[in-house]
């Protein structure tokens, strides 16, 4: 429950709270929730949680400066948007048509409908018979026109160049209006630190080949261990037998064979 919520695909806090209530009341967990708990992977270690939690706090405050280097570029565009008379005119027309206070959150922000991975959008249809959906459609079009993610009172909230973790990966979002410079605009070392928190092991074709080679040797080692046990080999004779079977020189450190056995144990 203490792992950052970014790392989970659902609100596990609510699930675990339900489990505690059920168990605290002497009731059994139903088979559906048992299945969910069986499928969910174990929480990440403290190192991963610390990196992700720090990122979550920055995102909550709207601070992306740790990963983005060109704040001045954004600030110039933000000032331009706030002083744009056409934007203000469109916003005033929206306010004249709807009571926009009904759609604000506790911070006074109205947000556009968000796009998801691969531009998949669940609430994409518009039921024009529903006033709330008419408002959202017009507000989404307004935000699309001016590259906004929302309005805070009468302040336009320009979309930022941003880096965000999701439960499934790391997203780098480049706004449509942004003239992107890959070398200057992003601190890639910071992005990679954030991403690698969940993918610490190096990958690649050479490493994959090495892994398969060790796996093959481990399978052979299991057979050799069984044969050595059958022959009742001990000490140096056993080691020499294993080295010969694995096509290693007899002087190979026994720890290397032990590591191979441990890596693929079970």
pLDDT of residue 110: 97
**Residues 6 or more apart from 231 whose CB is under 8 A from it?**
241
pLDDT of residue 195: 87
**Contact predicate 4/53, CB 8 Å:** yes
d(CA 184, CA 189): 12
**3-state secondary structure at position 162:** strand
pLDDT of residue 200: 57
For residue 24, give both structure tokens: 């605290």
pTM: 0.67
d(CA 16, CA 21): 9
pLDDT of residue 3: 84
Each domain of the chain, given as residue ranges in start order, spans 5-60, 71-160, 205-263
**Residue 196: in which H helix or E strand, if any?**
helix 188-196
pLDDT of residue 255: 87
Considering only CA atoms, give the Rg of the chain: 28
DSSP state of 28: P
d(CA 206, CA 156): 50
Positions of the chain with pLDDT lower than 70, given as ranges: 64, 200-210, 266
d(CA 114, CA 104): 16
Q: Which DSSP string do the residues of 192-257 spell out, in sequence order?
A: HHHHHTT--S--SHHHHHHHHHHHHHHHHHHHHHHHHHHHT--HHHHHHHHHHHHT--TT--HHHH
């Amino acid at each position: 429950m203490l792992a950052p919520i970014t790392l989970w695909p659902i609100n596990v806090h609510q699930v675990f709270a339900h489990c505690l209530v059920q168990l605290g009341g002497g009731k059994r967990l139903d088979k559906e929730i048992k299945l969910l708990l069986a499928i969910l992977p174990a929480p990440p270690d403290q190192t991963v949680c610390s990196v992700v939690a720090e990122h979550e706090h920055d995102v909550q405050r709207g601070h992306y400066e740790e990963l983005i280097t060109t704040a001045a570029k954004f600030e110039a565009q933000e000032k331009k948007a706030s002083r744009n008379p056409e934007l203000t005119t469109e916003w005033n027309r929206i306010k004249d048509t709807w009571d926009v206070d009904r759609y604000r959150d506790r911070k006074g922000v109205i947000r556009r409908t968000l796009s998801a991975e691969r531009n998949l959008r669940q609430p994409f249809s518009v039921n024009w018979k529903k006033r709330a959906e008419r408002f959202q459609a017009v507000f989404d079009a307004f935000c699309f026109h001016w590259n906004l993610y929302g309005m805070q009172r009468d302040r336009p909230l320009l979309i930022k160049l941003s880096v965000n973790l999701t439960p499934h990966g790391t997203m780098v979002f480049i706004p449509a209006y942004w003239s992107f410079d890959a070398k200057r605009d992003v601190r890639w070392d910071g992005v990679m630190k954030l991403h690698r928190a969940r993918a610490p092991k190096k990958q690649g074709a050479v490493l994959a080949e090495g892994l398969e080679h060790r796996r093959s040797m481990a399978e052979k080692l299991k057979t050799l261990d069984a044969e050595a046990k059958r022959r009742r080999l001990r000490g140096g004779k056993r080691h020499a037998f294993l080295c010969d079977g694995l096509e290693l020189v007899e002087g190979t450190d026994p720890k290397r064979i032990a590591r191979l056995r441990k890596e693929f144990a079970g």
